[in-house]
Amino acid sequence: MKRALLVALLVTAPALGREDTPAHPVRITATVIDHQGKPLSGLTLKDFSLLDQGVAQPLQSVEARKPEPRRVAILLDEFHVDPEDTDRVRAALTAFADQQLRADDMVVVLKPLDSLPSIRLSNDRDAIRKAIAAFEGRKGNYTPRTPLEEEAIGRAPALAERARAQVVLSALRALAARLGAAAGRSAMIVVSEGFTQLPGAAQARTLPDLGIVERFANRYDVPVYAFNPRVVPAGAVGESRVLASLAAQTGGTFNTGSDLDAALRQAARELDSGYLLTYDPAGSDDGRFHEVTVRTSRRGAQVRARAGYISPPSPETRRAMRSTVPMLDAARPLRRSPLIQAWTGVTRASEARARVVVTWEPASSLGGTTRSNAARVMLKATTKDGALLFNGTLEPVRGIGETASSVDRAEFDAPAGPVQLDMTILGDRGERLDFDARDFDVPDLQPRRTQLLPPVFLPTRSAREFRVASGELDASPDPSREFRRTERLLIRVPALSGSGDRPRVTAQLLNRSGKKMWDLAPVPGDAGTGVSQFDLPLAPLAPGDYILQFTATSDAEPVEQRVSFKVTG
């Protein structure tokens, strides 16, 4: 009965909002701050570059956002805030309401067990202050306040914590949907020390997990600004990991410490600034999640944007989805973990099956100064029909010539079609840190026309390493697209021909504006059937963003592919 009541409470989130899949062109909101954390103004189209699924996209326009009415949802997570911080949280949020909100701003203040279907945005300042004043931190206090809370959550600490986390996630999903239905600029402010969603906490299909919440927030372009009022030691994440991930995936921020007032003022400033980037991605009507990366050439500046978008399915895909079993598993939300960088591609192919390779490395922080504490990844790869292709544990990718004491790559044969990649990310002690769920489309191995596949980057640090890599057919691809000037890249480009003849592939280096710099020299050697190799020394390049353009010719029209990368000092 308790389980049924909890499900009933959580699934009443309103299914409101704008269309899940954007029409072309795609619009991405980006926040740019300087080294002092202040919003950076005056940027234009030439200051930005954008990757869609790792491929550089030409931007159609970049518009500076102007202040407009804001729609703000404030979630006061009383379950996960220490009672000692109650007064400080109340004071900071009251000051935010009095000093940062404008007359045309609409706000809703919600606590986890408030009624979700009755969420209403309002500009009634007295009601907002009253809702803030009613907040009281209850972390560690499991005494139910109402019969409903006792029935739905209970008193046993372990079970109550699990239920509380689920209630908060459901509230976040409901708020994202409600804000998505409102005109104006939207954001969620979450005050919480964080929580851990235990494996199996969302076994019922109807219960949201972190991935679903992230998808809702990205779907409606709602950044999450999360605030932990506790002082957290540098580098410690702990129970705040869920909120830190949610903020990173949605283009918001995660703050800790006693200066809640300053963090709220910063969030208000960011909502009145930023840029709207517009582009028309080529061939993106596949109905899948597209990862987006936004960069700026301004020195010392940092960019935040939502992790991506769901592309609209093509008419053919829509018909297939109506007439057959769904290709996308609704119980398996796609999610890119901020803790890792992963690469997936086809390195070789026969007429019937492709050789798929997956590698990964710990992700860098936004400033590139530190890496995540991800130590190993448990990878499970399956076809859409559930056939197991790979199941094992991977270490981070190693450099060329480094001793192989363990497996740093997954390698398996797969037929054409979607492959599901589910990764559990582990720390040094084997603890579960996060999860990552993504799909990879193995291309038609006998295409009607020439097709270029994702290139393989192999960074080397010496002439000897370059020679070794040139002859090492199974060298592990580097998942990063950021390299040092002291490195020399060996780049492998697989191509499939529609005519049966091996495609002729050429490569050019372009600057970030798309102007040609030079042609890349081909590298002799056996890199596999249909695979071309190129040499790119990075020493002559200044730090910055660059583009590689690959062109394959074997039939009527040449086929081009562009890939962006970054050179550091």
Cβ atoms 341, 436 nearer than 8 A = no
CATH placement of domain 337-444: 2.60.40.10
Are 393 and 405 spatial neighbours (Cβ–Cβ below 8 Å)?
Answer: no
- CATH placement of domain 447-569: 2.60.40.1930
**How far from 162 is each of 155, 195, 199, CA to CA, in Å?**
11, 9, 10
Strands 275-279 and 26-33 turn out to be antiparallel
Cβ atoms of 173 and 188 closer than 8 Å: no
- The reported pLDDT for the residue numbered 449 is 76
In this structure, what token pair is assigned to residue 209? Answer: 């997990």
CA diameter of the chain: 75
CB atoms within 10 A of CB 5: 13
Grouping H, G, I as helix, E, B as strand and the rest as coil, residue 443 is: coil
pLDDT of residue 526: 58
CA pair distance 143, 157, nearest whole angstrom: 10
Give the pLDDT score at 324.
42
DSSP 537: E
pLDDT value, residue 78 = 94
Residues in the chain, total:
569
Task: Find residue 436's DSSP bridge partners.
Answer: 423
Report, as ranges of residue numbers, the positions in the chain whose pLDDT lies below 50.
Answer: 1-5, 7-9, 11-22, 199-207, 321-328, 330, 367, 404-405
- Cα–Cα separations (whole angstroms), residue 319 to 285, 312, 416: 13, 13, 19
Is the full-model pTM beyond 0.95? no
Give the sign of the dihedral formed by CA 37, CA 38, CA 44, CA 45: positive
- pLDDT on residue 495: 85
Same fold, 337-444 and 447-569: yes
The pLDDT value recorded for residue 369 is 55
Question: Tokens 């740019």 — which residue?
Answer: 32
Torsions phi, psi for 192 (to 5 deg): -170, 150
C-alpha 230, offset from chain centre: 26
At residue 14, the pLDDT reads 46
Where in 207-288 does DSSP place strands (E)? 224-228, 254-256, 275-279
Domain 1-335 grouped into CATH 3.40.50.410: yes
What are the structural domain ranges in the chain? 1-335, 337-444, 447-569
